[in-house]
Amino acid sequence: MRVSALRVGRSRNVPLTSAVYGSASDDSIDVHMFMFVIEAAGTRIVVDTGTLSPDYVRRHHPYDFARATEESPENVLRESGIDPDDVDFVVNTHLHWDHCSNNALFRNAQILVNRKELEYAVHPLPVHERAYEKLPGLQAPWMSAWDRIEAISGEQKICPGVTVVPLPGHTPGSQGVLVETGTGRHLLAGDAIGVYENWNPDWRKSIAPTIHTNLFECYETFEFVAGLDCEVIPSHDHRILDSPLFRRPTTLVSQER
Ligand SMILES: [Zn+2]
């Protein structure tokens, strides 16, 4: 099995308080956008598909979003030897704009989304409408390939060593992908754990994501993750590139230059 973390841009100078609930820190962070590719036993799986162009993002979101030319989804996939037409499954950890905007790129893939997430994306609380791009005159990005979406509930094994697991709290239908490789068990955690500052293996000391629909579920998810006995891979933290999970040649594509 090979797992790759392909960076497709970053939002610069985001207050840490936007990621870590209740934080009083004045620090800012870069919020990195990753597309993960799992190649396992003849099956190709993409976990999250990133954002549209920097111009589009800056028009609709309050972020200083940047993407180097080589970080476009098409370029990082080509550099990794992945033909989007050969991808069998896309897993969206949830349907926030920065996790599902390139679903249509994978024309032959079945798209696995938690059923509760689909329901909420259609009718979110007003405070969450922008995160789902439920905005006047826009088509929400997940709808670009809605005809290939399969609504799933609970855990689902995709192939040997790759299992989708529910991680609710950040959103009602957040989910992660547990991979079991020669380097052990690793969890692609989505925004349930967006940056390392959210996570503590002593799960009671973990700190929920600032954006959440259910704080109690956030902590039930932390307890569940602690019980998985795995390495946690946050969705937006560039320090994941140091994980033994990712093969070097591909991660180098995504390194700072
Ligand atoms: Zn999110």
Q: Where do the domains of the chain lie?
A: 2-246
State the distance from the centre of ligand 1 to the C-alpha of 113, rounded, in angstroms.
14
Give the start-end residues of each E strand in the chain. 2-15, 28-40, 43-47, 64-66, 89-91, 110-114, 149-152, 156-159, 162-166, 175-181, 184-188, 231-233
State the distance from the centre of ligand 1 to the C-alpha of 212, rounded, in angstroms.
8
> Does the model's pTM come out above 0.85?
yes
pLDDT for 247 = 64
State the distance from the centre of ligand 1 to the C-alpha of 182, rounded, in angstroms.
29
| Residue 51: Cβ-neighbour burial (10 angstroms; 0-12, 13-18, 19+) | buried
State the distance from the centre of ligand 1 to the C-alpha of 42, rounded, in angstroms.
30
DSSP bridge pairs for 65: 11
**CATH architecture of the domain with range 2-246:** 4-Layer Sandwich (3.60)
Location of structure tokens 């590719």: 37
Per-residue pLDDT of the chain (257 residues; tens, 9 = 90+): 999 999 999 999 999 999 999 998 999 999 999 999 999 989 999 999 999 999 999 999 999 999 999 999 999 999 999 999 999 999 999 999 999 999 999 999 999 999 999 999 999 999 999 999 999 999 999 999 999 999 999 999 999 999 999 999 999 999 999 999 988 999 999 999 999 999 999 999 999 999 999 999 999 999 999 999 999 999 999 999 999 999 654 433 444 43
State the distance from the centre of ligand 1 to the C-alpha of 1, rounded, in angstroms.
27
State the distance from the centre of ligand 1 to the C-alpha of 170, rounded, in angstroms.
7
State the distance from the centre of ligand 1 to the C-alpha of 233, rounded, in angstroms.
15
DSSP bridge pairs for 187: 178, 232
The tokens describing 192, both together, are 């349930």
State the distance from the centre of ligand 1 to the C-alpha of 99, rounded, in angstroms.
7
Where does 2-105 have alpha helices with state H?
Answer: 54-60, 73-79, 97-100
